[in-house]
């Protein structure tokens, strides 16, 4: 077989794979939108600006937001969206749940459970080296200046709740399971669990205000001080 034929077959195989992936992503976006609207959410339209606080996972290079839903769940303002970003030689796909608190009382942080089956995440915040005793073995912690901003109560609770990763800033508390998407068939159950975990975390946060963390406004050059606006895309 000539080199030209090998090249043509390889190109055709790549094109077919891309078409399958794009078709799957469109189907995923459609299903999540249908299920979400049936549960009372508003589906964020394609290319609609989506304002969220600037946390580490939203600053991933090459990130793409898929289907997104916003609304109220059990009396709480929430945002749910699929997120994809490069992770090593592959693509990490996850569903992110964001609880919007009534006031900006979260310092910036990221708490990610260790997992020997997953890559070590690349994070643009300093790693916390002096970690509370309960979190030394099972968690990767990140915060500005490498200083963990919470006390022992949250540390002890996190050690008992290692299914979710947590990130936060201002009034936005983000939860996700690395490389896992919310199942559309049981989205109701997934939302209940995510909200319950978010509220448990929020109740343990001290009642302080962090007014330097602005949650509303236009995109700024300085990623660490302002909110970003991301355009929703349904294509990889």
Whether the predicted pLDDT of 139 surpasses 70: yes
Report the percentage of the chain scoring pLDDT > 70.
78
pLDDT digits (tens, 9 = 90+) for 32-64: 999 999 999 999 987 787 778 889 998 888 888
Which residue, 60, 77, 80, is CA-closest to 68? Answer: 80
3-state secondary structure of 24: helix
Cβ neighbour number for residue 88 with a 10 Å cutoff:
10
In this structure, of 9-18, 24-33, 132-141, the range with the lowest mean pLDDT score is 9-18
Q: Average pLDDT of 157-178?
A: 92
For the chain, domain boundaries: 3-231
* Burial grade of 182 (CB within 10 A; 0-12, 13-18, 19 or more): buried
> Pairing mode, if any, of strands 64-73 and 90-100?
unpaired
> Average model confidence (pLDDT) for the chain?
81
Whether the predicted pLDDT of 71 surpasses 60: yes
Q: Judge if pTM exceeds 0.75.
A: yes
In this structure, of 44-48, 114-118, 180-184, 232-236, the range with the lowest mean pLDDT score is 232-236
């Amino acid at each position: 077989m000539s080199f030209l034929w090998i090249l043509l077959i390889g190109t055709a195989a790549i094109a077919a794979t891309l078409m399958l992936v794009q078709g799957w992503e469109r189907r995923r976006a459609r299903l999540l939108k249908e299920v979400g609207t049936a549960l009372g959410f508003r589906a964020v339209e394609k290319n609609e600006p989506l304002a969220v606080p600037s946390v580490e996972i939203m600053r991933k290079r090459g990130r793409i937001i898929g289907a997104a839903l916003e609304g109220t769940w059990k009396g709480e303002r929430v945002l749910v969206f699929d997120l994809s970003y490069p992770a090593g030689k592959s693509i990490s796909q996850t569903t992110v749940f964001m609880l919007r608190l009534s006031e900006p009382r979260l310092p910036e942080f990221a708490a990610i459970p260790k997992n020997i089956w997953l890559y070590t995440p690349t994070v643009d915040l300093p790693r916390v080296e002096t970690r509370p005793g309960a979190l030394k073995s099972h968690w990767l912690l990140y915060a500005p200046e490498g200083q963990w901003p919470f006390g022992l109560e949250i540390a002890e609770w996190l050690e008992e709740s290692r299914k979710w990763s947590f990130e936060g800033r201002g009034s936005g508390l983000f939860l996700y399971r690395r490389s896992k998407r919310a199942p559309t068939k049981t989205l109701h159950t997934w939302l209940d669990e995510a909200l319950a975990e978010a509220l448990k975390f929020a109740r343990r946060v001290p009642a302080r205000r962090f007014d330097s963390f602005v949650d509303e406004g236009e995109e700024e050059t300085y990623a660490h001080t302002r909110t970003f606006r991301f355009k929703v895309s349904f294509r990889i």
